[in-house]
Amino acid sequence: MLPVFTRKPLFAYRVAAAGMIGVALLSFFVCSTTCSRVDQPGHAAAVHAHDRAHLDPHRFLFLVTLGTLWKAKIRFDAPMLFILGMMFNFLIGGITGVFLSDVRST
């Protein structure tokens, strides 16, 4: 939807495709390896390690979206507002997630 409402081709199409495949594969592996072992020791560490690896494809997709929005003629219809809201939510979650994931007690 992004290229339609920005009236611009998707920036770094191959990176976006690889990022989407990476998100799908890592989501499958995270769920298949950690969802069944909630009560075992080390579960939190395993989930944290998987979540850290899971962020990299999302970062690529975020940068592809920013590259597509750069100097675009944006049409602010409802689907584009949802895309921009998702970008804002992802940005705030990425900034605050660093502090919220700190498990050390102060």
| CA distances, 67 to each of 5, 21, 58, 74, 105 (Å) | 14, 19, 14, 13, 39
Are residues 70 and 53 in contact, defined by beta-carbon separation less than 8 angstroms? no
Residue pLDDT tens, the chain, 106 long? 999 999 999 999 999 999 999 888 887 876 766 566 556 666 666 666 666 777 788 889 999 999 999 999 999 999 999 999 999 998 998 788 767 766 664 5
pTM: 0.76
